């Protein structure tokens, strides 16, 4: 009887020890990349929730068609951490350069308008490599309804991996600059945060601002932003808060406001305001050259 009791106690103790060991190993082996991905989800998820609503879709009239004739770049593939290749529209600098401008699409996708904008920045900047990232893995929307459907099904973890892959594609010793509009304006700032010490300048056109102070404090470069006074996403109140938070974080943020609505810098947008676009464009070029 004593022998049976003794063996039972050994068995129970062994199960307890094994369970404790497995739990300990689970805690110790949580990949740091998973923690970083979660850390970078807050603002993108908030954008996704907002962009899945009709009120947001109504801010975006269907874009006009833009010709693809004479495009300067070509589509390329690059590796991403989730094992699925990302893609981007690449225009390499004419002479070898360590300066890269990562361009990020509007919520429509990587369409011909974004490629045309990438071509224009390439021509005016001269010594930059331009990489316009495809955040939708080849999908492009032509109507607000289809864009909203793409946003509702968007995987933000996948988008983080695409951005990380794009940063890695540029090389480990490169200077990274970011630029984007609306959805891309939000991701321009998120890309700057992900780029760490490689980030040298961030341009955001009416993108959702970051609110996490720890993330703002981690920014390693100056930021310039262009916003419409009539815009509701982001609203002037949201931009006011962002400006205040950047000051508290000790970061240099240059704000530019225009008497315009959402998407004012997009020539394919019926709400396009040429004078505002031209002023913002000239200031963004001057900002990138100065940094």
Does residue 145 share a domain with residue 80? yes
Same domain, 18 and 146: no
Domain containing residue 4? 1-30
Same domain, 199 and 272: yes
**DSSP secondary structure letters along 156-217:** HHHHHHHHHHHHHHH-TT-EEEEEEETHHHHHHHHHHHHHGGGEEEEEEESPPPP--HHHHH
State residue 40's pLDDT score.
Answer: 52
CB 125 within 8 A of CB 288: yes
Question: Distance from CA of residue 139 to its chain's centroid?
Answer: 17
| Domain match, 138 and 182 both | yes
Co-location of 197 and 94 in the same domain: yes
In angstroms, the CA 130 to CA 76 distance is 12
Residues 22 and 87 in one domain: no
The end-to-end CA distance of the chain, in Å, is 82
Number of domains in the chain: 2
pLDDT at 62: 86
Contacts of 209 (CB under 8 A, 6+ apart): 43, 186, 189, 225, 234, 238, 239, 241, 242, 245
What is the structure's pLDDT at 69?
85
Query: In terms of domains, do 260 and 198 share one?
Result: yes
Do you find a cis peptide bond into 234, omega within 30 degrees of 0?
yes
> How many CB atoms lie under 10 A from the CB of residue 71?
15
What pLDDT, on a 0 to 100 scale, did the predictor assign at position 68? Answer: 82
Cβ 61 vs Cβ 144: under 8 Å: yes
What pLDDT is recorded for position 150? Answer: 92
C-alpha closest to that of 135 among 117, 155, 159: 159
Do 137 and 24 lie in one domain? The reply is: no
What is the per-residue pLDDT for 18?
43
Compute the half-sphere exposure of residue 245: CA atoms within 13 Å on the CB side of its CA: 18
Contact between 272 and 190 under an 8 Å Cβ cutoff? The reply is no
Q: Mark whether 12 and 144 lie in a shared domain.
A: no
- Token pair for residue 246? 């950047």
| CA gap 278, 287 in Å, rounded | 14
Q: Is there a single domain that holds both residue 107 and residue 152?
A: yes
- Which residues, at least 6 apart from 243, have a Cβ–Cβ distance to it below 8 Å? 253, 255
CA distance to 57, 176, 267, 277, 288, per residue, from 232 (Å)? 12, 30, 20, 18, 27
Over its length of 291 residues, how does the chain's per-residue pLDDT go in tens digits? 444 444 444 444 444 444 444 343 343 333 333 334 444 568 888 888 888 888 888 888 888 888 788 999 999 999 998 999 999 999 999 999 999 999 999 999 999 999 999 999 999 998 999 999 999 999 999 999 999 999 899 999 999 999 999 999 999 999 999 999 999 999 999 999 999 999 999 999 999 999 999 999 999 999 999 999 999 999 999 999 999 999 999 999 999 999 999 999 998 888 899 999 999 999 999 999 999
Cα separation of 162 and 85, whole Å?
Answer: 8
Q: Say yes or no: 100 and 80 in one domain.
A: yes
* CATH number of domain containing 227: 3.40.50.1820
**Same structural domain for residues 131 and 142?**
yes
């Amino acid at each position: 009887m004593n022998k049976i009791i003794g063996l039972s106690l050994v068995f129970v103790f062994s199960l307890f020890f094994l369970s404790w060991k497995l739990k300990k190993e689970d805690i110790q082996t949580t990949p740091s990349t998973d923690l970083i991905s979660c850390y970078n989800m807050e603002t993108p998820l908030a954008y996704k929730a907002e962009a899945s609503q009709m009120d947001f879709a109504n801010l975006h009239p269907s874009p006009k068609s833009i010709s693809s004739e004479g495009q300067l770049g070509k589509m390329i593939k690059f590796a991403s951490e989730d094992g699925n290749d990302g893609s981007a529209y690449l225009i390499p600098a004419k002479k070898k350069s360590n300066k890269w401008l990562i361009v990020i699409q509007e919520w429509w996708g990587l369409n011909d308008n974004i490629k045309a904008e990438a071509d224009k920045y390439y021509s005016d900047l001269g010594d930059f490599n331009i990489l316009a990232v495809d955040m939708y893995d080849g999908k492009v929307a032509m109507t607000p309804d289809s864009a909203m459907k793409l946003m509702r099904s968007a995987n933000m973890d996948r988008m983080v991996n695409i951005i990380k892959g794009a940063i890695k594609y540029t090389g480990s010793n490169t200077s990274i600059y970011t630029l984007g509009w609306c959805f891309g304006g939000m991701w321009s700032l998120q890309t700057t945060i992900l780029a760490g010490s490689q980030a040298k300048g961030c341009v955001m056109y009416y993108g959702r601002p970051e609110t996490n102070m720890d993330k703002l404090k981690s920014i390693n470069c100056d930021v310039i932003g262009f916003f419409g006074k009539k815009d509701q996403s982001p609203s002037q109140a949201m931009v006011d808060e962002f400006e205040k938070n950047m000051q508290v974080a000790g970061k240099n943020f240059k704000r530019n406001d225009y008497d315009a609505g959402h998407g004012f810098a997009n020539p394919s947008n019926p709400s396009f305001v040429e004078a505002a676009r031209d002023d913002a464009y000239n200031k963004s070029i001057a900002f990138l050259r100065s940094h």
